[in-house]
Chains A and B, each alone.
Chain A
Amino acid sequence: MAETASSKKRFWLLSKSMHASEVRLAWLLILPTAIIVFGLVLFPAIFSIWISFHKIGLYNLNDVFHAPFIGFDNYKSVLNDFAFKWGGPKQWGAWVTTIFYSFVSTFITLIGGLIAAILLNRPFRGRGLARSVFLFPYVAPVISVAFVWRWLLDPRPSGVLNHILINLGIIETQQAFLATRGLAIWLVIIFQAWRYFPFAMLMILARLQAIDDTLYEAAAVDGANSWQKFISITIPQIRYVLGAIFLLRLLWTFNKFDDIWLLTGGGYGTNVLPVLTYQFSFNMYDFGKGAATAMIMMAALVVFIIGYVLIIMRNSEES
């Protein structure tokens, strides 16, 4: 009796020390990743808050920790900046532009992805190939596709869109589409939708293929047509995926720098917050003001993350 008790105790001690070594191993394995992510993501993110309350330019960048504290001056300066604040329908300012740009382009991306997914959900010869081709805009480097688009929209005689529209008699002389206030923002939105609809398509397609066929068969027995089937079966089945993609894409579009920077450089009514952050910091070398702009973006981001987590959690609770 006593013997078994002691062997039990020994076993317990053994498994405890095994567990301890397992924990040590786990931390050892995860340490390099943790150091890199902490040093180059988490610490900079916190440091960014600090920068946004200090006056930092190129002259004191090397001595950044002794930069003068200036309270909310950077924030005030951003909020009062001509490029940031609402200046009437002709001068939206970056925050209105950003919200308009991210919501509209996310919406169009989602619609494009939905249509593409419905097209590809139908069996036809060459479907596999078509699916690969549909993903090209998403995997291709942004710089090459952005410059192709810039050339297609170019005002010079070799610009394709100008050539087509003049031949159709819609316009008479060459237009600089990307340098036209009001039009440029829509072109940037269309580019964004063109580039990112494949992401939405893939996610929706995966969900569409998981829908139980018997639902459609039952609806067919009841005499429903394709549109009715789409509205009352397909849409409810993919509702949560649509919601999740919308938030994810909204978040990423909100923070997108490359696309707009490469297409218009932020000019002609397309200046969004990420581009403004860049301009404040690396064109005007006012890093504090740039960081303050980034923090304003971050505040919006936190709202998005909360929404995202709520939707994902509700989604996973139901399934």
Chain B
Amino acid sequence: MSTLNQHERVNKGNFIDHLSKTLSWEKFLFAVGLFFFISMIIFPFYWMVSSSFKSGAEIAGRAPVYIPSSLRLDAYRELFDPAWKSFQNFGVNIVNSLLVAIPTALIAVVLSIMGAYASARLHFKGREWILNGVLIVYLFPAVLLMIPLFAMLSKVSQTFGFNVQDNLVILVLTYLAQTLPVALYMLTNYFRTIPDEIEQAALIDGCTRFEVIWRVTIPLAIPAIVTVGIYTFMIAWNEFLYAFIFLNDRSTFTIPIKINTIFNDPSPRPHVVMAASTIMTIPIILLFLAFEKYLSQGLTSGSVKG
């Protein structure tokens, strides 16, 4: 009996010791902090996705509905189903956004590979000047450029007789101007980490410069190139201001402008806005998760403006 008691006491002592060791103030604060951050971040996203499945009645009710009663597709049908009243034809906007974002990403990748190779590997006068210039351009705000661009483009459209407004090509060009400096800077830094000797060896073996770029430099720089491609895609996909200024015709609206239009509709339909936002956000989050390792590295090298 006494031995059992003793045994129990020892156990209890151990348990309290264990508890006081694991439950320190520090751990408590840590848990509270983590919970605070996670809930602050997740809730708006949860609200966006869950609201897209709510019915009109749940949206306009006397209190917010935190969990939709069922997965109703009303909002998505308004976006995509031509038979639905106030059909939004959202498919066109998705296509427009892709038509802007994919060419922007591809052209930015090609041009920045060329430029970065030149500024990382080739010796020419003005190289440092270009790199510093790129850094300064990187700090120019979009707001500063919107007025002169607007004036220039309306002048150009008048002179050459083509429509600059409602022209997705113009958007691609302005996004390129915004993203190329960053892309060039990132890739140049990456190319400089690739040992020069590999390329020298290929040159001595009789490869031309372009063969060296194609067969040696690009394969070695795939992580950085993928990062640049995804960044430029994301920037073009998310961009609001220039699209807002340059696009007036509904048939050319990209997704952000369309969401803005639905939001400002006289009869508020937040579930439709949330459905469109969900469609716009999910691919970006998935892209980010798929390439997170590269992208975080890119972020820490200070490469994304916004």
Contact = CB atoms under 8 A, between A and B. Distances in A.
Interface residues of B, number: 93
Interface stretch (B2-10, B72-80, B113-121): B113-121
- 9 A-B pairs with the lowest CB-CB distances in the bound complex, closest first: A144-B277, A255-B141, A40-B177, A44-B148, A26-B122, A29-B118, A26-B118, A47-B148, A29-B114
Contacts of A47: 148, 151-152
Contacts of B260: 143, 262
A39 B178 CA distance: 12
A41 to B, nearest CB: 5
Interface string B273-306: 1101110110011001100100010011010111
Interface in A124-140: 130-140
A199 B276 CA distance: 26
B194 interface: no
A17 interface: no
Interface string A15-36: 0000100110111011011101
B190 interface: no
A70 interface: no
A298 B144 contact: yes
A141 to B, nearest CB: 4
Interface in A212-231: 226
Interface of B: 26, 30, 33-34, 37-38, 40-42, 44-45, 47-48, 51, 59-65, 111-112, 114-115, 117-119, 122-125, 127, 130, 134, 136-137, 139-152, 154-155, 158, 173-174, 176-178, 180-181, 184, 209, 234, 237-238, 240-241, 245, 256, 259-260, 263, 270, 273-274, 276-278, 280-281, 284-285, 288-289, 292, 296, 299-300, 302, 304-306
Contacts of B302: 203, 248
Interface stretch (A75-83, A146-154, A177-185): A146-154
Select the residue from A39, A139, A281 with max chain B CB neighbours within 10 A: A139
A158 B281 contact: no
Given A45-B144, A148-B44, A294-B143, A202 B63 contact: no
A278 interface: yes
A122 interface: yes
B141 A301 contact: yes
A308 B181 CA distance: 18
Contacts of B259: 143-144, 147
Interface string A171-210: 0000000000000000000000010100100110010000
Select the residue from B144, B146, B296, B306 with max chain A CB neighbours within 10 A: B144
Contacts of A122: 30
A30 B130 CA distance: 9
Interface stretch (A5-13, A56-64, A99-107): A56-64
B150 to A, nearest CB: 8
Contacts of B136: 305
A262 B264 CA distance: 11
22 contacts: A22-B122, A26-B122, A29-B117, A32-B111, A33-B111, A41-B137, A119-B34, A130-B38, A132-B289, A139-B288, A144-B277, A148-B48, A148-B274, A148-B277, A151-B270, A158-B63, A160-B47, A199-B299, A202-B296, A255-B143, A262-B260, A277-B146
Contact of B34 (A40, A130, A143, A294): A130
B237 to A, nearest CB: 7
B130 A134 contact: no
Nearest to A42: B137
A30 B238 contact: no
A282 interface: yes
A68 interface: no
A246 to B, nearest CB: 13
A281 B51 CA distance: 36
Given A130-B38, A148-B277, 16 more contacts: A23-B123, A30-B114, A33-B115, A37-B177, A41-B177, A48-B144, A115-B33, A119-B37, A143-B260, A157-B62, A158-B60, A158-B270, A160-B47, A257-B142, A277-B146, A278-B146
Given A37-B137, A252-B306, A140 B64 contact: no
Interface residues of A, number: 88
A159 interface: yes
Contact of B145 (A41, A149, A287): A41
Nearest to B176: A36
Contact of A291 (B148, B158, B284): B148
Contacts of B118: 25-27, 29-30
A116 interface: yes
B41 A147 contact: no
A27 B124 contact: yes
A125 to B, nearest CB: 12
Contacts of B278: 144
B241 A258 contact: yes
A252 B61 CA distance: 39
A266 interface: no
Nearest to A162: B64
A144 B260 CA distance: 9
Contacts of A34: 115, 130
A37 B181 CA distance: 8
A115 B238 CA distance: 28
Contacts of A131: 296
B147 A206 contact: no
A32 B114 contact: yes
B42 A133 contact: yes
Contact of A142 (B115, B123, B146, B238): B238
